[in-house]
Amino acid sequence: MEDPNCPNYTTCKLVTTDDLKLSREKKVLFMNQYCTTGRKAWESCKRYTTKATLGFCPDFVLPDSDYTLSEIVDKIDTENEL
């Protein structure tokens, strides 16, 4: 049987830290909706897809973020310029 947890479950900051400044309720909601309910769920997670493409996921990207990959890269570039 396939593991229902996202492959990034043990390393994702959403799961492993409180650095993302989410309420406990929101964090649990995200984890239940995206992290632990099978491939279809975590493949729809913006953090998962961003890491799969870029090799990492910036903290500002949440599982339900509407950012496109281009917008994420632009935001990273802008923050690095400061």
Residues of the domain holding 72: 13-81
19 within domain boundaries: yes
Alpha-carbon Rg for the chain in angstroms: 13
Determine the Cα–Cα distance for residues 45 and 8; give it in Å rounded to an integer: 11
pLDDT tens string 34-73? 999 999 999 999 999 999 999 999 999 999 999 999 999 9
Total domains, the chain: 1
Residue 1: pLDDT over 80? no
* pLDDT tens-place string over residues 8-20: 999 999 999 988 8
Q: What is the pLDDT of residue 81?
A: 75
Contact 46, 68 (CB under 8 A): no
Does residue 48 fall inside a structural domain? Answer: yes
Domain assignment of residue 1, yes or no = no
